[in-house]
Structure 1
Amino acid sequence: MQRVFGLVVLALSAVLVEAAASHPALDGLHALVQRRLADHADSFTFQLSEDEGDSFVISDTKGKPGGITVECTTVSVCARGLYTYLTDFGGVDIWWTGSRLDQLPSHLPRVGKPVHGTAVVPYRYHFNTVTFDYTTPFWTFDQWELELDWLALRGVNLPLAWVGYEYILIEVLHEAGLSDTDISSFLSGSAFQAWNRFGNIQGSWGGGLPMQWVNDQFALQKQIVTRMTELGMTPVLPAFTGFVPHAMSSIYPNASIVNGSQWSGFPSALTNVSFLEPFDPLFATLQNSFIKKQQAAYGANVTHIYTLDQYNENNPFSGNISYLANVSAGTFASLRAADPEAIWMLQGWLFFSSETFWTNDRIEAYLGGAPSNDSMIVLDLYSEAAPQWNRTSSYFGKPWIWCELHGYGGNMGFEGNLEAITTGPIDALNSPGSSMRGVGLTMEGQEGNEIVYDVLLDQAWSSAPIDIPSYVVSWVARRYSVKSLPAAAQEAWRILSTTVYNNSNPNNQAAIKSIYELEPAVTGLVNRTGHHPTLISYDTNATIVPALQLLIKAKAENEALAAVPEFAFDVVDVARQLLSNRFIDAYQTLVATYNSTNVTSESVQRAGQPLISILSDLDTLLGTNENFLLSSWIAQARNWSHGDDAYAAYLEYNARNQITLWGPEGEINDYASKAWAGLISTYYIPRWQTFINYLASITRLGRAYDSTTISNQLLLIGQEWDARTWGEGPGEHWGVSGEDVWELVDKILATWA
């Protein structure tokens, strides 16, 4: 009888498992398993529970040897539970450099005692509005697919979804009576759309935004939003902000439309964006049109959360308390009229970047215009270095998310503060009266320093600060997933995690920029803080040099590491940082030589040659790895052209200009600079050689240094470089060079260590 009863229980369990596995909400998660773990597609069972909160339980599947069950409260939490099994038991991971989940052992490790996991916050957020230009503007869905799987598995449930915004906006503006000419003069280029969406710039340089681009991006957004929802994430979609073409004033002369402020030195034709004030009835009309069209395009209930930023680095028309409250009240009312469940998401960057304007009484008035505490979510955008939640009484009760900014412009220098991103969120969550509801990544560019982003997303699942030393050990073990990982690899990362990634200086916590990426000058490049930080907060000889030596030692002890893409990436990245830091030394020697009493033209040229040698070595090094190629960035842009040469040239110009002059006259020169092979050889080396030649020339002629003269020469180099199309200049590699990276790194260590 007991045997019969047991068989009945097993059969019933199998039925329940099958029923749970076939739940339609889990189809997207099963598809992820099929994509990334095809050999184990039948090994994982997912079950949705009705428990409260975001929690999961991982266990061995009853009656199914080798099977793993993840029971969870939401699809997103199921994905995080799967990730916990894959990393903690399987020793595999998914990285920006690619998924290694297919390296899961053929016989799945048993769980044994069930493992429980609970999120400490309901929201796990990802993306900055500008990431959609600094990193993803030219991505195809294949690239987005890896990104979205990376997000889902790490438990992100609230990603920003900005792609394709212009399609909906154009439809709304057409409906309002604006012509194609009115609209095209307003929209910005393909690599600069974020700042048009923010109301910082209008129009474009290098040609108007083609409708082919608008249509293609709209089609891509449909794929992205569908995949986000399939993976259990709630996309944060845009709304109508109020920024409109100048022609709107002519068509609606009685509407309350004001001009925004000038932004970052741009000429008035490209900034001073018109702003339709939200308390004007026309604002609500356009908002309703926008939301309804967006719901028709993507689905009525895919989200009720909308990103809407009106004063990003632009101050309001008035600082009057009542005015600010009326602006936000009108904005929120328009959202709720279009979507009765609407929640307004706001980047809190404005309260830091314009701190003088945004006093606490003005912040309270502006946030208070959205009447209840379920009406808004504020992203505390720079929590790791410049939090605003603590000076605003937790945003006066509005829910907010603790965010890590990092990565200004996609700068690639090593930087991080692991202690701040582990203790900071927990301290904020436990502070009296805290209205914190999430943690998130708001990096400007998703380039390098991957460990700091992994740590923060993992911190969302720990009620106590993560123990960094033990975390780093397990992180390195699965990043370099080889048998018998040499201790040298672990020691390299122990050094980096306790020094380079232990920067407690809030003035340069944004990814360090290498000075060779800045316009050459005799002063002002070294030890900078702020938006172009160059201050190195560690001793290169005690950190970068031994870390690189240890990684090379690890490879010598286990040649299998050479075939690990993440290991090859890290070796190139650490060697890149070594050469970048050594460039500072060489630059300071050049300046000292130029300023010496016995300077000659020849001595200046001699002092300048090490700078060129370092850059040449750096370009060769970066050319060995597909992740550090200018050609990848340009090819991504040109690939959207559908074979149209003129369109390809337009896209390429946008791609080139963003990473160099950032504007027709270098308005934000070098802000989005990159350490890429091809960019160094064809852009940075000519700039620095021109600078060295200039110093030598004025030394020979006995003339004074003229910053305007050399700056104009360098601007011309930038404009000529931006105007190229592919193949016009040497050194812009289409692919990996084929050089032996290990020999190159040995040479670099021998020459520059």
Structure 2
Amino acid sequence: MQTHPELDALSPIMNILGVVFFAVFACIQSIDALDFRGLHSLVQRRLPQHAKDFTFEALPEKGDKYIVGDTVGKRGAVTISCTSISACSRGLYVYLTDFGGVDIWWTGSRLHELPSNLPPVGKPVTGDAVVEIRYHFNTVTFGYTTAFWTFEKWSLLLDWLALRGVNLPLAWIGYEHILSEVFHDTGLSDTEIASFLAGPNFLPWNRFGNIQGSWGGNLPTQWVEDQFVLGKQIIQRMVELGMTPVLPSFTGFVPRALATHYPNASIVTGGQWSGFESNLTDVSFLEPFDPLFAELQKSFILKQQAAYGNVSHVYTLDQYNENDPFSGDISYLRNVSSNTFSSLRAADPEAVWLMQGWLFFSSSTFWTNDRVEAYLGGVEGNDTMIVLDLYSEAQPQWNRTNSYFGKQWVWCELHDYGGNMGMEGNLEELTNGPITALQAPGSSMKGVGLTMEGQEGNEIVYDILLDQAWSSTPLKVSDYVAQWVSRRYPVQPLPAAAQKSWQILSTTVYNNKDPNSQATIKSILELSPALTGLVNRTGHHPTLIPYTTNTTILPALKLLLQASDVSSTLRNVPEYRYDIVDITRQLLANSFVDLYRHLITVYNNSTSSHEHIMSTGSNLVRLLGDLDRLLYTNENFLLSTWIADARQWAGNGPRANTSYAAYLEYNARNQLTLWGPNGEINDYATKQWAGLVGEYYSQRWKLFVDYLAGIKQSGQPYDATYISRQLLAIGQTWQVQKWRGTKGQSWGTKGDTFDVVEEVLRAWA
């Protein structure tokens, strides 16, 4: 086999100052090297008026422990002592929330609202993490949520993570730059590499080896370079905040042209994924036992170290995400993992392999226990690997695999498929499940983590799991919710109606104990209209509503509105306004189901006329119009934000690259709708956003109603194939539109939330 010694050469891609900076933080867990500058910067960012009021000190102990107390000899100041930067961050968070009554949310930071005179601590408060690892991110979150983010949005999220005690976040941004350099060194051309890389918000599935290439045009070089710059900013901030980034590695997925350059290499073809045509899937996989694999791995990791410094030894590497191995032979599977890990250790002698455990659930027929044991067993030692038990809250795999046969693993909450927005959760399981698993005989559990596919609403279910990581006993849900609501709505006194509203939600909507309907309830209004198959789905993307709307969502909304009648200042709280829109959105989404059922009943009635169908169906379209108006009143529910975030990477004003902007917008629109050139994963990453509801979902449902009325009048039979083609055509047309200049679309908010909610309640409650 031909080899390339030049692959071992280091390709400098970062200036020396950057390398030196990262080296300063290389040993962040060593007490002697604790550097609090990142925490002081966080305080300066979020609490500038208190920049000199917080002191951080190191504790000469192991683990993650903090002590929060008043600063001796300095009134109105706080000292936080800790064993790690992450523990100090958590200690700061405890002070801010428990004593200051402020918090940082996805909707923004309220930390600057901390009282000018810092509340005293009194008796010092001590806290310990009950698990070593607090993990965050699913690989696909980088497609469904953060795909088009600039560093400003990343900065808010990273501060959110640090304060909640996360110490092991995934760091994918910039991967394609380094991977392309590795491929260039093998002799692959720009064209050959471009044919492999996916579109901007589809890159996660390219990294997983599910898809290759882009159906909207080749990934521009500008995107690759800009993301590399962003990635360096993100990793620098992670390290400053005491987090160890989980870095990418070479997985084995390669452009097809590599087989031409290396005809003797062991390259196999992966399986077809989710109905994509073979040119967009069937990804080539370089077998890890081929010597070329180790060469490329070493090249990748050395280039990555040159770019970021020696900031981490933990590497994410998933080879069989929703694609089964080439062979199920036990020795083959052990050989694959053994050589994969050897390649990591050859490049980094301290390497730890992190992988998602999703494959053991999604392809459980293939991954029998003996195969799981063989694959994991190929990695020598138990502290050399971390498995993310991705769906612990509903479909745990740790219990059927004997705690992953001794490998370290993390209890994770999946949730939020595709970034869907339905209100759903199981607070009791999120507090009891991790503690039960941690205390199980022979447990090798080392952490808890958030592995949601998207980050859209349901913030309480994510907060409570990260907080559970700092409690050795299950948190009492009722007390937790009451405290959470008090700091979410920092109004004194907080009206009792607000607490009562969330008491209802937490014991019903967020008390879903049915694993078949967990992971965010999807509304049928986001699905392609059909006569059957929409309502009461369970399993993946459930539409079954496991509660009664009129005794849960409706009274909770009315109580929350009553709270602002008692205290009008509530209406100035961004999180309160968000929740009012979100709960009203859920009310309308659930009401749509009743209207749909009535439409189908009327259609199936042999005596119903064309007029009956049109009259009944018009209610569905009218509700969607009201939902769109509601969503337009809040900046967190706008399609225009998603599109603007995408287009901004092409520049703004007269210097904007218009063709690049159109490419980015196409990708952004396609994922929300067809998810593929021909609707291969249609309606998966749906959102209830203003503009998307009014311009897309409404159009589809109007077509469906008109079609039912037309065939009722003509006497023609229902043709499912015909209506599917028409709906696909709507999607194909909509995704190539441009936001600017489209009639009726708005870049920002419009209308008053409370006026629209009042109208909605009159019309639909």
Q: Which residue of 1 aligns with 2:760?
A: 748
The answer to whether the 8 A contact 1:682-1:730 is kept is no
| 1:58-97 to 2 correspondences below 5 Å | 58-97=68-107
Q: Match for 1:742: what amino acid? A: F
Q: Match for 1:154: what amino acid? A: R
Q: Which residue of 2 aligns with 1:590?
A: 599
| 1:516-535 to 2 correspondences below 5 Å | 516-535=525-544
Question: Deviation at 1:164?
Answer: 1.0
Per-residue CA deviations over 1:51-90 (Å, capped at 9, x if unaligned) read 1111010111111111111000001110000000000010
Q: Which one of the candidate residues 609, 613, 623 is aligned to 1:604?
A: 613
Q: Which one of the candidate residues 267, 281, 286 is aligned to 2:296?
A: 286
| TM-score, scaled relative to structure 1 | 0.96
1:667 paired to 2:677: no
Q: Distance in 2 between matches of 1:238 and 1:407?
A: 24
Q: Which residue of 2 aligns with 1:50?
A: 60
Q: Distance in 1 between matches of 2:618 and 2:741?
A: 26
Q: Distance in 2 between matches of 1:120 and 1:106?
A: 33
Q: Which one of the candidate residues 712, 724, 730 is aligned to 1:717?
A: 730
Q: Distance in 1 between matches of 2:333 and 2:399?
A: 21
Q: Which residue of 2 aligns with 1:12?
A: none
Q: Which residue of 1 aligns with 2:549?
A: 540
Question: Deviation at 1:532?
Answer: 2.0
Q: Distance in 2 between matches of 1:357 and 1:599?
A: 50
Question: Deviation at 1:22?
Answer: 13
Q: Which residue of 1 aligns with 2:286?
A: 276
Per-residue CA deviations over 1:503-528 (Å, capped at 9, x if unaligned) read 00101211111101000001000011
The answer to whether the 8 A contact 2:31-2:84 is kept is no
Question: Deviation at 1:103?
Answer: 0.6
The answer to whether the 8 A contact 2:34-2:58 is kept is no
Per-residue CA deviations over 1:271-305 (Å, capped at 9, x if unaligned) read 00000000110000000000000000000x20000
Q: Which one of the candidate residues 120, 135, 144 is aligned to 2:145?
A: 135
Q: Distance in 2 between matches of 1:633 and 1:21?
A: 42
Q: Which residue of 2 aligns with 1:4?
A: none
Question: Deviation at 1:732?
Answer: 2.6
Question: Deviation at 1:729?
Answer: 2.6
Q: Which one of the candidate residues 387, 392, 397 is aligned to 2:396?
A: 387
Q: Distance in 2 between matches of 1:60 and 1:46?
A: 12
Per-residue CA deviations over 1:335-386 (Å, capped at 9, x if unaligned) read 0000000000000000000000000000000000101101100000000000
Q: Distance in 2 between matches of 1:93 and 1:532?
A: 31
SS in 2 for 1:76: helix
Question: Deviation at 1:688?
Answer: 0.3
Q: Percent identity?
A: 67
Q: Distance in 2 between matches of 1:515 and 1:226?
A: 42
The answer to whether the 8 A contact 1:346-1:378 is kept is yes
Q: Distance in 2 between matches of 1:22 and 1:324?
A: 42
Per-residue CA deviations over 1:663-682 (Å, capped at 9, x if unaligned) read 00000001000000011111
Q: Distance in 2 between matches of 1:747 and 1:165?
A: 48
| 1:292-331 to 2 correspondences below 5 Å | 292-299=302-309, 301-331=310-340
Q: Distance in 2 between matches of 1:100 and 1:610?
A: 40
SS in 2 for 1:59: strand
Q: Match for 2:224: what amino acid? A: V
Per-residue CA deviations over 1:95-139 (Å, capped at 9, x if unaligned) read 000000011111111111111100000000000000001000000
Q: Which one of the candidate residues 240, 244, 249 is aligned to 1:239?
A: 249
The answer to whether the 8 A contact 1:590-1:608 is kept is yes
SS in 1 for 2:201: coil
Q: Match for 1:179: what amino acid? A: S
Q: Distance in 1 between matches of 2:98 and 2:478?
A: 16
Question: Deviation at 1:747?
Answer: 1.3
Q: Match for 1:731: what amino acid? A: G
Q: Which residue of 1 aligns with 2:128?
A: 118
| 1:293-442 to 2 correspondences below 5 Å | 293-299=303-309, 301-442=310-451
Q: Distance in 1 between matches of 2:135 and 2:716?
A: 55
Q: Distance in 1 between matches of 2:83 and 2:269?
A: 48
Per-residue CA deviations over 1:292-326 (Å, capped at 9, x if unaligned) read 00000000x20000000000000000000000000
Question: Deviation at 1:602?
Answer: 1.1
Q: Which residue of 2 aligns with 1:5?
A: none
Segments of 4+ moved more than 3 angstroms: 20-24
The answer to whether the 8 A contact 2:650-2:658 is kept is yes
Q: Which one of the candidate residues 684, 690, 698 is aligned to 1:677?
A: 690
Q: Which one of the candidate residues 22, 30, 46 is aligned to 2:40?
A: 30
SS in 2 for 1:379: strand
The answer to whether the 8 A contact 1:159-1:234 is kept is yes
Task: Please say which of residues 590-599 and 285-294 is displaced more in the overlay.
Answer: 590-599
Q: Which residue of 1 aligns with 2:234?
A: 224
Q: Which residue of 2 aligns with 1:482?
A: 491
The answer to whether the 8 A contact 2:31-2:58 is kept is no
The answer to whether the 8 A contact 1:612-1:688 is kept is yes
Say if 1:92 and 1:695 are closer, same or farther in 2 by CA, change over 3 A: same
Question: Deviation at 1:722?
Answer: 0.3
Q: Match for 2:45: what amino acid? A: R
Q: Match for 1:551: what amino acid? A: L
1:167 paired to 2:177: yes
Question: Deviation at 1:649?
Answer: 0.1
Say if 1:50 and 1:24 are closer, same or farther in 2 by CA, change over 3 A: closer
Q: Match for 2:88: what amino acid? A: C
SS in 1 for 2:544: coil
SS in 2 for 1:226: helix
Question: Deviation at 1:23?
Answer: 7.7
Q: Which one of the candidate residues 693, 705, 730 is aligned to 2:718?
A: 705
Q: Distance in 2 between matches of 1:732 and 1:363?
A: 51
SS in 2 for 1:25: coil
1:564 paired to 2:573: yes
Question: Deviation at 1:485?
Answer: 0.8
Question: Deviation at 1:730?
Answer: 2.5
Q: Match for 1:563: what amino acid? A: N
1:259 paired to 2:276: no
Q: Distance in 2 between matches of 1:530 and 1:411?
A: 15
Q: Distance in 2 between matches of 1:290 and 1:158?
A: 21
Per-residue CA deviations over 1:130-162 (Å, capped at 9, x if unaligned) read 000100000000000000000000000000000
Per-residue CA deviations over 1:555-606 (Å, capped at 9, x if unaligned) read 1111000000000000000000000000000000000111112121111111
Q: Distance in 2 between matches of 1:343 and 1:496?
A: 41
Q: Which runs of 5+ in 1 are unaligned?
A: 1-19
The answer to whether the 8 A contact 1:629-1:733 is kept is no
| TM-score, scaled relative to structure 2 | 0.95
Question: Deviation at 1:727?
Answer: 2.4
Q: Distance in 1 between matches of 2:32 and 2:447?
A: 31
1:449 paired to 2:458: yes
Q: Distance in 2 between matches of 1:700 and 1:596?
A: 13
Q: Which residue of 2 aligns with 1:686?
A: 699
Q: Which residue of 2 aligns with 1:8?
A: none
Say if 1:319 and 1:58 are closer, same or farther in 2 by CA, change over 3 A: same
Per-residue CA deviations over 1:202-236 (Å, capped at 9, x if unaligned) read 00111110000000000000000000000000000
RMSD of aligned residue pairs (Cα, Å): 1.1
SS in 2 for 1:220: helix
Q: Distance in 2 between matches of 1:732 and 1:437?
A: 48
The answer to whether the 8 A contact 1:630-1:732 is kept is no
Question: Deviation at 1:21?
Answer: 14
Q: Match for 1:436: what amino acid? A: M
The answer to whether the 8 A contact 1:21-1:46 is kept is no
Q: Distance in 2 between matches of 1:171 and 1:23?
A: 33
The answer to whether the 8 A contact 1:55-1:77 is kept is yes
1:202 paired to 2:215: no
1:183 paired to 2:220: no
Q: Which residue of 1 aligns with 2:16?
A: none
Q: Which residue of 2 aligns with 1:459?
A: 468
Q: Which one of the candidate residues 658, 667, 670 is aligned to 1:654?
A: 667
Paired residue total: 732
